[in-house]
Structure 1
Amino acid sequence: MNGENIECWLTDMDGVLVREQEALPGAAELLEQWRSKDLPYLVLTNNSIFTARDLSARLRNSGLVVPEERIWTSALATATFLANQIDPESNAQGSCYVIGEAGLTTAIHAAGFIMTETNPDYVVVGETRNYSFEAITKAVRLINDGARFILTNPDATGPSPEGVIPATGAIASLITKATGRKPYVVGKPNPMMFRSALNHLGAHSMETAMIGDRMDTDIVAGMEAGMHTILVMTGLSSRASIADFPFRPNRIIDGVYELLEDPLDRDEDSQ
């Protein structure tokens, strides 16, 4: 893929479009460029706490106009994955025990699942700021009793004003240690996240580009999903760190302003 036949775009959010709630140079203009050209796109995030509506409002506060239908979270990808696991001929309603916030519970409800603590089909663990020993113990016992273990994303830590906090990957390790069962992880770097986004858009991977700021999640998953990959230097990666990986993105740019078609916009944003 040479990047000239891109008809669809997927982009990470943090480190690509925003950083610490501030829009990055060129982000608003790039979103408007996609809208004006009527190009399908989705903004992706591994965060499962917030609903797409919540995230749309947060981005709007940063000066970025992203309708909720243009946002794809690990919670939505997880709910879509679970819905596809139910036998359509069984007429059965799936059930889940969920550790997570509104973004995850809303998505799973919308996919037709019921929430229960009694013999659920799945234990689903997502990001939350209120992990409790009681909930984790319940998850361990349900998995030991036969529930299948699903994780929205593998991130071991998350940010907070006070510093890093344990996230889904850390909690999953605790549960795995107690049960001997590893979860199926839906979010990045599993290309399942990107494939579900492509299916949601009705797009083909060969005509889609993925913009991300991390080699170990965005770029590797985009590559494995068969997409054109673009690494930006406005997030967690540096040009020196790229050599640490046995694969490369198709393109490396300093910021999304380099993807603007109008040279004047590009010059203004890069100053």
Structure 2
Amino acid sequence: MTVSHVDLRTVRGFVFDVDGTLILSESPDWSGAVPLPGAVELLQWLREQGYPFALFTSGSTHRPEIYATRLRAAGLPIEDWQVITTGVTAAEIIATDYPGRSVYVLGEEGTVAPLQARGIRVVDGKEGETAGVVLVGWSRSLTYDQLDIACRAVWNGADLLVTSAARAFVSKRGLKPGWSWSIAIAIAETTGKHPRVVGKPSVEALRAVARLLGTEIAATAVVGDDPDLELRMGRDAGAPTVQVRTGRGSEPIETPLLGDLVVSGVGELLELLREACMREGAADR
């Protein structure tokens, strides 16, 4: 059953979660991605109708264009710029809120490259102990020495940032643990400094995405499956939210935090958008 507290005729842009909303995949890098029912058709319809939209992912391993290539291979009709990673929002926030500070990164190319593209100095090795910011992304190659340097930097006064607060993500095999958040919490437990989230569910991150789309927050619908991440982010920012009952949204709901619009999946969202456009067209005649 559809639950709706939002008029889709007022929406001018869309921000989509990816895993569990538009696709299911084998791993966080979206290898073997399979589109969920209605995903391809919805994005194609939005393109034809001229709606700006972006796919905002908690993934931070690769550059956005790498992710975009894999999604196109799965059939999603998107451009490179429409995939926005937490590496991109992290760089935006660090450049704005921590100007001039060097950054020690626990992460891979997808976290480092956006920082360098913004002219932010990334330090490595022992120099990391004097960094002004420690940024935790996804890294399968994390070592104890790197963890040691990160903790020493925080003890020396660095701010602790993390690209995602996702405790888990959806795959074809079900839930898998979120690596970035796990590492950030380990550093927080060791140092006593709580991490600042620069990806989901950060309001600042959503504002950065809306700026890239050229839309106002109040007219930018956030579509996702996770009540604790993109749906919370949208609500906290004052954006209309659409909860899909795929991915994590298919789990029993133990919290009252739901979307303004609750649908079975993105295929149903497409049907409702078409109906809203027809009503708007009829009202204009």
Note whether the superposition's TM-score is higher than 0.5: yes
Aligned equivalents of 1:102 and 1:199: distance in 2?
24
Aligned to 2:264: 254
TM-fit CA distance, 1:84: 0.5
Q: Is the 8 A contact 2:61 2:108 kept in 1?
A: yes
Q: 1:84 to 1:137 in 2, by over 3 A?
A: same
Tell me the TM-score normalized by structure 1. 0.87
Q: Is the 8 A contact 1:154 1:185 kept in 2?
A: yes
Aligned to 1:151: 162
2:43 to 1, 10, 31: 31
TM-fit CA distance, 1:95: 1.3
Q: 1:32 to 1:158 in 2, by over 3 A?
A: closer
* Amino acid of the structure 1 residue aligned with 2:154: I
Aligned equivalents of 1:166 and 1:134: distance in 2?
21
Aligned to 2:119: 112
Between 253-262 and 26-35, report the one with greater CA deviation: 253-262
Q: 1:227 to 1:62 in 2, by over 3 A?
A: same
Aligned equivalents of 1:221 and 1:36: distance in 2?
28
Aligned equivalents of 1:142 and 1:28: distance in 2?
45
TM-fit CA distance, 1:172: 1.3
User: 3-state DSSP class of the match of 2:113?
Assistant: helix
* Amino acid of the structure 2 residue aligned with 1:9: F
2:179 to 163, 167, 170: 167
**CA offset digits 1:81-108 (Å, max 9, x no partner):** 0010245xxxxx4311111011100111
TM-fit CA distance, 1:177: 1.9
Aligned to 2:11: 6
User: 3-state DSSP class of the match of 1:146?
Assistant: coil
Aligned equivalents of 1:186 and 1:210: distance in 2?
17
Task: Work out whether 1:208 is the aligned partner of 2:220.
Answer: yes
Q: Is the 8 A contact 1:3 1:228 kept in 2?
A: no
TM-fit CA distance, 1:257: 1.2
Aligned equivalents of 2:269 and 2:216: distance in 1?
21
Aligned to 1:189: 201
Structure 2: runs of 5+ lacking an equivalent: 1-5, 26-32, 276-285
Identity of aligned residues (%): 29
Aligned equivalents of 1:46 and 1:39: distance in 2?
23
* Amino acid of the structure 1 residue aligned with 2:264: D
TM-fit CA distance, 1:9: 0.6
Q: 1:204 to 1:161 in 2, by over 3 A?
A: closer
Q: Is the 8 A contact 2:164 2:198 kept in 1?
A: yes
Aligned equivalents of 2:251 and 2:39: distance in 1?
21
Q: 1:84 to 1:159 in 2, by over 3 A?
A: same
* Amino acid of the structure 2 residue aligned with 1:83: A
TM-fit CA distance, 1:165: 4.9
Between 156-165 and 128-137, report the one with greater CA deviation: 156-165
Aligned to 1:269: none
Q: Is the 8 A contact 2:24 2:170 kept in 1?
A: no
Aligned to 1:268: none
**CA offset digits 1:204-262 (Å, max 9, x no partner):** 11211111011111211111111111111121123741xx2233311111111123256
Aligned to 1:134: 145
Tell me the TM-score normalized by structure 2. 0.83
* Amino acid of the structure 2 residue aligned with 1:181: K
Please report the RMSD computed on the Cα atoms of aligned residues, expressed in angstroms: 2.1
Between 163-172 and 181-190, report the one with greater CA deviation: 163-172
Aligned equivalents of 1:34 and 1:172: distance in 2?
37
Where do 1:74-93 residues align within 5 Å? Answer: 74-87=86-99, 93=100
Q: 1:191 to 1:143 in 2, by over 3 A?
A: same
Aligned equivalents of 1:247 and 1:160: distance in 2?
23
Q: Is the 8 A contact 1:157 1:168 kept in 2?
A: no
Aligned to 1:245: 255
What is the aligned residue count? 256
